[in-house]
A = this chain, B = another copy of it.
Amino acid sequence: MPAPGRTTSQAILDAASRIIESGGLEALTMGAVARAVGVRAPSLYKHVADRSGLIRAVAEQVASELAAAIATGSASDPDPRAAVRAMAQAHRAYVHAHPNCYGLLFAHLLPESMPDAALVARVGLPIVDRMEELVGPGRALEAARTLVAWSHGFVSMELAGAFRLGGDVDAAFRFGVEALLEGVTRVTE
């Protein structure tokens, strides 16, 4: 009779995300993951190659979820400016909800822990699409990169505590989106 399998790769992945989110990457020990799924550490190696592979799996799940969140944020609005605003807000909201897991996409880890580049690249595609309506196909990639870089940088500095002193951070984010929209359309004219 084939054995039932006391845990699953998905359960392990979910436990790993939760542990990273609540305690940071240092809290992700094979023992902690094993305990969370009700098994002993050696059994995890039936489902994941090693700790680095587990980190990469979490990072790739983050890339997928973030891509979905951003795509949803742009779906409905016919006005490309409004769509860009919504996508930037969706980006920021996702990072606020999963700061430690989001950090995996930009941590300087071992190559084995880095998510597949093509998967990460897909996150920005809907932004390129809507930017095209604003600046034309020749400049859309550059304009989208400028906006995404700013949005990533803003949220990453915000979470690092760089904006602790002074001001309404939400308003600063909205200010930034308008400045970026104004800038990329003016400079490309």
| A:33-84 near B, CB below 8 Å | none
The contact string, 1 if C-beta is below 8 Å from chain B, for chain A 157-180, is 101111111110000100110111
Q: Indicate if A153 sits at the interface (CB-CB under 8 A).
A: yes
* Interface size band for A: 35 or more
On whether the beta carbons of A108 and B117 are closer than 8 Å, the reply is no
On whether the beta carbons of B107 and A107 are closer than 8 Å, the reply is yes
On whether the beta carbons of A187 and B175 are closer than 8 Å, the reply is yes
Chain copies in complex: 2
Q: How far is the CB of A63 from chain B (nearest CB, A)?
A: 11
> What are 14 of the A-B contact pairs (CB < 8 Å)?
A25-B108, A99-B108, A100-B108, A103-B106, A103-B108, A114-B161, A120-B160, A146-B180, A149-B154, A152-B153, A153-B153, A180-B183, A183-B184, A186-B186
Given contacts A26-B109, A121-B162, A141-B166, 14 further A-B pairs with CB under 8 A are: A24-B110, A106-B160, A117-B161, A121-B165, A145-B157, A145-B163, A146-B150, A146-B175, A146-B176, A178-B183, A179-B180, A182-B187, A183-B183, A186-B186
